Structures are given as C-alpha cells and as structure tokens.
Structure 1
C-alpha cells in the first residue's frame, strides 16, 4: 500500500463502496425481510459502516470512511422515495438539494485525498494521542465510524416524513426549507472555494485566512454544514408537524461541530500558528459577526 497510486486508491474506494451496497442489499433482502423501512435503513446503515470499518482497518487508513458521510445520505433518500412512491414537489426538492450537497461534499473530499497513503490528520492525531489505555481500533470503530453514522442518520430522521408523508401540499415552510438548505450549500461551497484559492497562493503558507466569509466566522464551512441539516428538518416539519422531535438530528450536528470538530481544528491551528489565539479573540467560531476590535491587520490561514 505504501507505493499505491492515487488512482489505485480511488479504485479501491469505489470497489469497497460497491461491495458495501451489495452487502447492505443482502442484509435488507435476505437477513431482515419485512422489517419497518425506517428501522431497516438503520440496520443496513450500521452493517455498511461495519464493512467499511473492516476495510479501513485492513488498509490501516480510517479515511476510507470519509466519503461515507456524503455518499450514503443521497442513497438513503432515493431508497425512501422509491419506497413511498409519489413524485411530490417536496420529494423532488429534498432529492435535488441532497444530491447537490452530496456531489459537492464528495468532490471536496476527492480533491484533497491523495490515496491510500493519505489519512486525515484528525485520525493520525487520534492514533498518537487517543484516550490512554484505549486501543485505536476501538476509537476507530466508535468515534470515527459508528458515531458519525448514527449522527448522520439522526439528521436524516426528518427526511423520512419529508419524503414519505405525501398528503400535505408544498407550502411556505417548504419554501423556507429550500432557502435555508440552498443557502447552506452555497455557504459551504463559497467557503471551500475561498479556502482552496487562498491555500494555492505560496505567499499565504502558514498564514491565517481572514477574507471573504472567513473574516466573519472561523469555520464558515462548518456553519454551512449545520444549516444544511436544519434545512432538512424544516422539510420534515412541513410534511408532518408531529415529527418535530426529529430536531434531535440537527441538534446532534450542532453538538458534534461545537464540541468536536471546531475544538480539534482550533487546537491544530493554535499549535501551527502563533497568532491564532489572537485571531480566535477577534473572529467567532461559527455564527458570523464583524471582527472584534479596531485592528485592521489581516491574518491568514491555509
């Protein structure tokens, strides 16, 4: 694997996810026929995650799981719509928005992943500085694979009524859901494009990005991701108000980013850039506002 090329790595991931799809189909059709569709989806989702975990363990690269976050939600939405039938405006809006989000996020991963020799820095950090006495395989299984799968499934709970309850017409709340979800995708796309453009400039190496969306929020890409899941919840609320409790999904996303993703990224930047502590005092983590203070100096991050 140490000499594996980038195209070979993508071929391995493609074959792995094709095998995962076949495996989950066998789980659904052969082992668990006749179950309630929502629970059946959860069982299949967990089974697929375990297969990806096994492959990631064999390859010693937890990043094999990374595209799962963006690929599987679109597949689940398609399956649910086919299960429910119909072809309502709400179903089409949800499908289109989730598809655009999935393509963008998967392409963003593919752009940065260098192959089987490249593992996300967060996973490398967990290998070196994981909880004392806890083997990495357990951290990998629970923290890197199962927990994100369950958090994403929680976020998708609101999509179930949105695409299976078809007796409510497309209304004002659906319009709001479209606006929030589309704005979220636009924020993520813009933030990533600004960051990639900034990082491509050799003179910006080691500096802190403080331009575009990044001058108002330290993590505008994370903000966009959070808003995306709130938008999906609004679709579910519009279709079936009694499913309001699926708000646990977007709340779970907020907790994941606020208490895990943002702190990890900030700690990394603090260790690499001496001025980052000052940047943290000026620029909020997520919710945008004008930078605090009158200092006009611009600090940059690649």
Structure 2
C-alpha cells in the first residue's frame, strides 16, 4: 500500500481536526454576540471530548471494523477524565470570576476570534497522540507493555498532582475571602512550586504520549501513518509545556501576581525561594 497524504490515519485525523475548529468557531460566534468569555474553557474541554470520540469511533471512515485495542481505551479514557474534570472546574470558576484575559478583546469580535483559534491549535496539538493512536486500526497495535504502563503511571501522577493543587488553591481562596488581593497560597504543593497545577498538567501529557506512542513505529512501517505525523506527535507534550511556561499560562499569572502583590514583602520572599515550575524543596534566602 503506497503512503499518501490521505493515508488511513489521515482520513480519520482530518475530520477530527475539522470538528475541533468548527466547535471553536461556534463557541466564538455565541460568545462574541453575547460579549462573554464564560464558555471559553468549557468549549475547549468539549472539543477534547468530541475529538477523542471521533478519532475512536471513526464515523467518517469506510469499512472500519470497530474493535478497540486496550491502548486506545486507556488513551481515550484518560483524556475524557482529564477534559471532563478540567472543563467543569474552569467553567465553575468562570461563573464566579471574570477572566481578565478577555476584559477588552471580547468586545472586538475579530481580535476575540484569535483566542478561539489559538484554543483550536491547543486542542489539536495537545491530544494529537491520542487522536493518532485511536486512528490506527487495532490490528496494528502491539500488546500493552512496560512502556505503556510507565506512561499510564506518569499520567496518573500528573493528574493527581493537578487535582490536588487546584483543590488546595480553591480551599485557600475560600478561606481567605476578601483578603485574596493581598494574599497568596504557599502551603501544600504550592510550597514546592509556584504553579504545581501546571506542572501536573504537563506531566500527564508526557505520560499520555508515552502510552500512545507504542503503535506509531508499526504504523509508519506498515505505511498507514507518515513519518512526519509521528514526529509531530512527539512534539505534543513539548508544545504543551512551552505554551504553559512561556506563553499563556505561567507568564500571565506571574505578571498578575507581581502587580497584585507588589507591596507584599512575604510574596517576594516566597517567589525567590520557591521553584517556578518543577517542584523542589524551598531554599531559604534572606531579603
């Protein structure tokens, strides 16, 4: 079988990516009309769920026998668990608090659209290994092995780390009440990292890629997946980490915290002593 741009994998992947961009456009249209950002994160999580389902069920692929490999079930199941959790968590937070990222842009539809297109790229690239492993017919999947179980363990560790960090911050914010603007959390996992929730999220996607990747080399060898697509999947967890640590996650929060807590001496001591991303024991320093 000659490999073309419309390989068996691509014929599943393209409709999946198209559905991802479509739901983002619909979300943008509704949000731009109402000038609200409340469903932004929920739409992103919904896109993850839809893309995972489409890549697994393959409703647009012809003559496909639906026999799911355990690797596909694990990869899809973990993605559904994460997307459902994060979607509900962020949606509840959005209902309670305005998102300052959209304070100005939500009133300008053309600029607002940029944020939704960026979210489309995020959804497409982040879980690309999952979409790819789902698009590979079960007959080309090797049996689960050590690599898969290590990947699943890393995913479980990262997900647990993210959930606990978010819960700790949620409880802290509830307890601190009106003093939030002059306080910061530095206990629990937040004593090891200034952004432990983001660290957990990056870890789980590295684990997910490791779990998914076992089938890629066989798919390339059997010419049902092109080599460049398999290499693109390798970039996925690196892309997530870069986006979080250098673009839209940590940099925005760091600037906001620096502005909000500029007169709080304890915050600057905490920032100097505590790792930004990778959890480490706090190093004691003098101001």
Shorter-chain TM-score category?
Answer: 0.7 to 0.9
Is contact 1:61-1:119 (8 Å) kept? no
Between the aligned partners of 1:119 and 1:209, the Cα distance in structure 2 is: 20
Corresponding position of 1:59: 34
Q: Which moved more, 1:73-82 or 1:217-226?
A: 73-82
> Structure 2 matches for 1:16-31, cutoff 5 A?
none
Corresponding position of 1:99: 80
Corresponding position of 1:187: 161
- 1:271 paired to 2:259: yes
Q: Secondary structure at the match of 2:281?
A: coil
Between the aligned partners of 1:68 and 1:173, the Cα distance in structure 2 is: 32
Between the aligned partners of 1:255 and 1:58, the Cα distance in structure 2 is: 32
Is contact 1:151-1:249 (8 Å) kept? no
Structure 1 residues 58 and 253: alpha-carbon distance in aligned structure 2, compared to 1, 3 A threshold? same
Between the aligned partners of 2:211 and 2:134, the Cα distance in structure 1 is: 9
Q: Which moved more, 1:90-99 or 1:264-273?
A: 90-99
Between the aligned partners of 2:273 and 2:134, the Cα distance in structure 1 is: 42
Is contact 2:165-2:189 (8 Å) kept? yes
Corresponding position of 2:92: 111
Is contact 2:155-2:205 (8 Å) kept? yes
Q: Secondary structure at the match of 1:114?
A: helix
Q: Using structure 2 for the length normalisation, give the TM-score.
A: 0.80
Between the aligned partners of 2:275 and 2:176, the Cα distance in structure 1 is: 27
Is contact 1:181-1:229 (8 Å) kept? yes
Corresponding position of 2:99: 120
Structure ranking higher on relative contact order (CA contacts 8 Å, 6+ apart): 2
Is contact 2:24-2:116 (8 Å) kept? yes
Q: Secondary structure at the match of 1:292?
A: coil
Is contact 2:158-2:203 (8 Å) kept? yes
Between the aligned partners of 1:207 and 1:200, the Cα distance in structure 2 is: 12
Corresponding position of 1:200: 174
Corresponding position of 2:215: 239
Q: Which moved more, 1:54-63 or 1:234-243?
A: 234-243
Corresponding position of 2:133: 162
Q: Which moved more, 1:237-246 or 1:168-177?
A: 237-246
Is contact 1:77-1:95 (8 Å) kept? yes
Between the aligned partners of 2:212 and 2:80, the Cα distance in structure 1 is: 17
Superimposed CA distance per residue, residues 217-252 of structure 1 (whole angstroms, 9 cap, x where no aligned partner): 101111111122212211221121352431222222
- 1:44 paired to 2:31: no
Is contact 2:147-2:210 (8 Å) kept? yes
Superimposed CA distance per residue, residues 15-45 of structure 1 (whole angstroms, 9 cap, x where no aligned partner): xxxxxxxxxxxxxxxxxxxx82211211221
Number of corresponding residues? 252
Between the aligned partners of 1:290 and 1:193, the Cα distance in structure 2 is: 21
Corresponding position of 1:212: 188
Unaligned runs of 5+ in 2: 1-9, 59-63, 221-229
Corresponding position of 1:300: none
Corresponding position of 2:46: 71
Is contact 1:155-1:248 (8 Å) kept? no
Shift of 1:281: 1.5
Q: Using structure 1 for the length normalisation, give the TM-score.
A: 0.76
